[in-house]
């Protein structure tokens, strides 16, 4: 059975044709492997133009357990067939098999194309036209630092679309300022050895500037980026599409988009600093609508699988007037900001 919702095709497969396997069922209590079975299925799917097939073996109304796995075949619109094995415990009950099969079918949802996945993402975030035309936002929030026992730091964030961000951390010893744009990255943070405004170190600046665009998936082709579809997986109980964004600069990031509602749930970025690879993961939670825009009010930042901090938004204003001077390096120096990058 094929169920089409909008433009996205969800292949919800049941047994679409009957296989004559009575001999096997009568002679085997456990069937671990059927020689030529996969080839037979593929041949039948091609002959009958079947888009998907789930296979099990039944005798006297009872499912005969395959040792360790059952097999699911999914055929996409291009005719490519994917074989999916579903791990099962011995003597699995029928209701358990149905549950696992349903979950596997959902996790192997095959989109028409990348644009259909992104269309759902745009819609979830508030609509493509709104995302194209909005000016930015001002927010009051706080960092919750895991490595410091949950210490909280008030912060203020200015974001001017598409690629200018200023974060001020209000510390006891004075405000720390971090600014990243598509052309510059600078910092003033006495607690980290930057008592005066300074350009970020080259490796940090390169990583920050390559991800200055907060919404890089919007009009990615016009920006010179590419996207690769990496398949589906499960993330915290949700079935997600996994895509890789390759920016024109060569910077890469992996994005997990909820297959059900289009929300971006996780971003993975690998960066090399001082010849050492570091994995940065951003997990988005507590989504709320602010006017037309859907925002994650809680964002978790992990470094090499370790939770470093959470950012919790307390108040947001959309489309404020933000002067460009907020993002400009305040001290005149010879040359341009991060000109070597």
Q: What is the CATH number of domain 115-327?
A: 2.50.20.10
Which residues in the chain show pLDDT less than 50?
Answer: 1-34, 65-68, 75-79, 88, 90-92, 102, 104-110, 340-341
The SS3 of residue 78 is: coil
Residue matched to tokens 């925002």: 295
Our CA angle for 159, 312, 306, nearest 5°, is: 105
Sign of CA dihedral 51, 56, 58, 63: negative
Question: Which of 143, 191, 140, 138 has the alpha carbon at shortest distance from 309?
Answer: 143
Give the N- to C-terminal CA distance of the chain in Å, as an integer: 54
β-pairing, 2-5 vs 306-318, is unpaired
Q: What is the residue whose two structure tokens read 């859907």?
A: 294
Q: Give the per-residue pLDDT at 91.
A: 47
Strand ranges of the sheet holding 69-75, from the earlier edge strand across to the other edge: 52-55, 69-75, 81-87
φ/ψ (deg, to 5) at 41: -60, -45
Predicted local distance difference test score (pLDDT) of residue 289: 96
pLDDT at 339: 52
| Helices (H), ranges, the chain | 22-27, 37-48, 94-107, 114-125, 128-133, 202-210
**Ranges of each domain in the chain:** 2-110, 115-327
Q: pTM for this one?
A: 0.67
Categorise residue 231: left if φ over 0, alpha if ψ from -120 to 50, beta otherwise: left
pLDDT of res. 225: 95
The reported pLDDT for the residue numbered 27 is: 43
Q: How far apart are CA 207 and CA 204, in angstroms?
A: 5
* DSSP state string for 218-263: TTTTTTT-EEEEEEEEEETTEEEEEEEEE-TTS-EEEEEEETTT--
pLDDT for position 125: 96
Distance CA(168)–CA(188), nearest Å, equals 9
Q: How many angstroms separate the CA atoms of 194 and 133, rounded?
A: 36
Look at residue 260 and give its three-state secondary structure: coil
- Spatial CB neighbours of 320, under 8 Å, sequence gap ≥ 6: 135, 136, 137, 138
Query: What pLDDT score was predicted for residue 208?
Result: 87
């Amino acid at each position: 059975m094929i169920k089409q919702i909008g433009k996205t095709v969800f292949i919800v497969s049941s047994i679409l044709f009957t296989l004559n396997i009575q001999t096997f069922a009568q002679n085997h209590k456990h069937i671990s492997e059927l020689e030529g079975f996969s080839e037979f299925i593929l041949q039948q799917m091609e002959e009958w133009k079947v888009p998907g097939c789930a296979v099990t073996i039944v005798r006297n109304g009872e499912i005969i357990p395959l040792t360790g796995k059952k097999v699911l075949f999914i055929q996409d619109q291009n005719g490519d067939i994917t074989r999916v094995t579903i791990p099962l415990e011995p003597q699995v009950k029928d209701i358990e098999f149905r549950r696992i099969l349903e979950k596997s079918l959902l996790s192997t949802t095959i989109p028409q194309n990348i644009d259909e996945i992104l269309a759902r993402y745009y819609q979830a975030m508030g609509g493509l036209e709104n995302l194209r035309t909005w000016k930015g936002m001002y927010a009051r929030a706080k960092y919750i630092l895991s490595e410091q026992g949950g210490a909280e730091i008030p912060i203020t964030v200015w974001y001017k679309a598409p690629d200018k961000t200023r974060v001020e951390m209000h510390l006891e010893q004075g405000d720390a300022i971090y600014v990243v744009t598509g052309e510059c990255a600078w910092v003033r943070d006495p607690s980290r050895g930057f008592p005066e405004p300074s350009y970020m170190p080259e490796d940090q600046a390169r990583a920050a500037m390559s991800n200055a665009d907060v919404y890089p998936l919007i009009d990615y082709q016009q920006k010179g980026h590419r996207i690769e579809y990496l398949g589906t997986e499960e993330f915290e109980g949700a079935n997600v599409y996994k895509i890789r964004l390759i920016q024109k600069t060569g910077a890469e990031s992996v994005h997990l988009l909820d297959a059900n509602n289009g929300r971006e749930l996780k971003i993975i970025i690998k960066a090399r600093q001082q010849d050492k690879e570091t994995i940065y993961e951003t997990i988005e939670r507590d989504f709320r609508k602010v006017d037309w825009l859907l925002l994650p009010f809680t964002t978790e930042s992990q470094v090499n699988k370790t939770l470093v901090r959470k950012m919790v938004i307390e108040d947001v204003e959309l489309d404020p007037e933000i002067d460009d001077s907020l993002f400009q390096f305040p001290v005149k120096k010879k040359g341009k900001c991060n000109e070597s990058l």
